[in-house]
Amino acid sequence: MNFSDFIANNDMIKNLDNLGYKNPTPIQEKTIPSILKKQDVLAKAKTGSGKTAAFGLPLILELDVKKRYETSAIILAPTRELADQVAKELRRLAAFVENTKILTLCGGTPMRGQIQSMKHGVHIVVGTPGRVLALLKKEALNLEYIKTLVLDEADRMLDMGFFEDIEQIINFTPKKRQTLLFSATFDDKILEFSKSIQNDRVEVEIEEETSSIKERFFKFSDEGLEIAVQHFKPETCIIFCNTKIKCKEIEARLQDKNYDALSIHSDLEQIDRDETLLEFTHKSCTFLIATDVAARGLDIPSVDLVINYDLPKGQEVYTHRIGRTGRMDKEGLAISFVRGYEEYIDVQLEDINSLHVDSPRSYKAKMITLCIEGGKRDKIRAGDILGALIKEIRLDGKHIGKITINRKDSYVSINSEFAQETFEKLKKSKIKGRTLRVWMLS
Ligand code: AMP
């Protein structure tokens, strides 16, 4: 199928082409036509399936830019990270519509700024239930014009205890509205929830493409983690643990061995979580050690290897975890360590010592990420940073990695051999005619 089979707007088709979205993903193919017909949809889709564009595309197509004081859509997501990613994707999809205002409303950011932003009008709100409800109670947010309510990762929101907050939020929206519910799992809880808030829903379930993920199970052994890593030699790897204490322990253990490993868990301040994730996506850290809560909703573009250092409690969490590898048609690998008391599970157990390790590779970070105090707000573009690095500092372009420009700051990864020298020089050189503060991450 092509996007043009169900989207008539040529500008959107062109935009999708620019984004590199050649064809709709299965979830998009099955949900977009119903969503465009204003039907309520209950869809089973996991992160990486293209679900954000599945609900985002119709929202953008239906948007009336003139009505910025009549917020027409709200998307509720379980975590700030997911809300940020949803907003980012919506902005990409709306790139051809001028003056679209998409606002994220999440905890961890002062309310004052959010209230101020809303005064200028907003078309689409993306937020976490707690903060959205708090703003509704303060009468800072008005949902009386909502046409579409989206609940993203609904299963996760219920697991996190957001049910009552969501119910209260729904009471602020019109009875006549479209409700879209996306969930990675369908269980009785979700079906009940759907019944209570949706009308004549269309149910969409995509067959799991498990074939693109190879799963292997090993008997737990103390050195098993290192053996696995040295045998499979991933470029990007997520290691899941069940507790944050274990995350920190594994992080310290790998760092002691000079492996570039960082952990992400709920003890970290939001800013540290963002930086850790940035280092991971910028490849200045190969191993991300995470708890389920911290990892949920992170948009990490497919990792080579998922390791369940601890087996998760339940099949659903397991499915979520291994879904981090083998996304968008890439073959992935997920391995799990099984302790003696867990050996009742019905899998074929292998001995980790049977894995062959030849010439262990170094896992010292190949890239180091620099942070520059200046971003979109200061009209800085990737070209300005490249210009400073290549023309002023005379760094060879091949030593420069990914560049990310945020609102207030920017990140660039540099080959670690040249990072210190580049850092010293960049501190003294000018970007867009100004000397900006620069930090080296980690
Ligand atoms: P999501 O499941 O929404 O997190 O999307 C996963 C990734 O797929 C995101 O990076 C999207 O930008 C990308 N994506 C979404 N739709 C398409 C498409 N039709 N073709 C290619 N990539 C897509």
At 57-78, the pLDDT tens digits run 999 999 999 999 999 999 999 9
The pair of three-digit structure tokens given for residue 379, joined into one six-digit string: 């009209």
What ligand 1 atom has the least distance to the C-alpha of 85?
4
d(CA 23, CA 8): 15
- From the CB of 51, is ligand 1 less than 6 Å away? yes
Whether domain 367-440 has CATH 3.30.70.330: the reply is yes
222 C-alpha to ligand 1 centroid (Å): 38
First to last CA, the chain: 46
Determine which residue's CA is closest to atom 20 belonging to ligand 1. Answer: 21
Q: State residue 208's pLDDT score.
A: 61
90 C-alpha to ligand 1 centroid (Å): 11
What ligand 1 atom has the least distance to the C-alpha of 56?
3
The sheet carrying 349-350 orders its strands as 261-264, 287-290, 237-240, 305-308, 332-338, 213-219, 349-350
What ligand 1 atom has the least distance to the C-alpha of 299?
4
Q: Which of 180, 325, 328 to mutate to test the pocket of ligand 1 (most atoms within 8 A of CB)?
A: 328
251 C-alpha to ligand 1 centroid (Å): 30
pLDDT at 406 over 90: no
The pair of three-digit structure tokens given for residue 72, joined into one six-digit string: 């027409």
416 C-alpha to ligand 1 centroid (Å): 31
Q: State residue 29's pLDDT score.
A: 95
CATH node for 213-354: 3.40.50.300
Average pLDDT over residues 374-383: 91
Least confident of 125-139, 205-219, 310-324, 366-380: 205-219
d(CA 190, CA 42): 9
53 C-alpha to ligand 1 centroid (Å): 7
CATH node for 3-205: 3.40.50.300
- From the CB of 58, is ligand 1 less than 6 Å away? no
* pLDDT level of residue 52 (50, 70, 90 thresholds): very high
Determine which residue's CA is closest to atom 14 belonging to ligand 1. Answer: 50
Determine which residue's CA is closest to atom 18 belonging to ligand 1. Answer: 21
- From the CB of 224, is ligand 1 less than 6 Å away? no
- From the CB of 25, is ligand 1 less than 6 Å away? yes
What ligand 1 atom has the least distance to the C-alpha of 49?
2
pLDDT at 301 over 90: no
**Hunting for tokens 């008997």 — which residue is that?**
219
90 strand-pairing partners: none
- From the CB of 177, is ligand 1 less than 6 Å away? no
89 C-alpha to ligand 1 centroid (Å): 9
- From the CB of 49, is ligand 1 less than 6 Å away? yes
Classified as helix, coil or strand, 126 is: strand
d(CA 384, CA 215): 44
29 C-alpha to ligand 1 centroid (Å): 13
d(CA 310, CA 246): 9
Share of the chain above pLDDT 90, in %: 69
Share of the chain above pLDDT 70, in %: 97
Which residues are within 8 A (CB) of 435 and not within 5 positions of it... i.e. 6 or more apart? 427, 428, 429
The segment(s) of the chain belonging to CATH 3.40.50.300 are 3-205, 213-354
Assess contact for 408 and 375: CB atoms under 8 A: yes
pLDDT (tens digit, 9 = 90+) per residue, 212-260? 789 999 999 999 999 999 999 998 999 999 999 999 999 999 999 989 9
d(CA 212, CA 179): 32
* pLDDT level of residue 330 (50, 70, 90 thresholds): low
Determine which residue's CA is closest to atom 5 belonging to ligand 1. Answer: 50
The segment(s) of the chain belonging to CATH 3.30.70.330 are 367-440
What ligand 1 atom has the least distance to the C-alpha of 327?
6
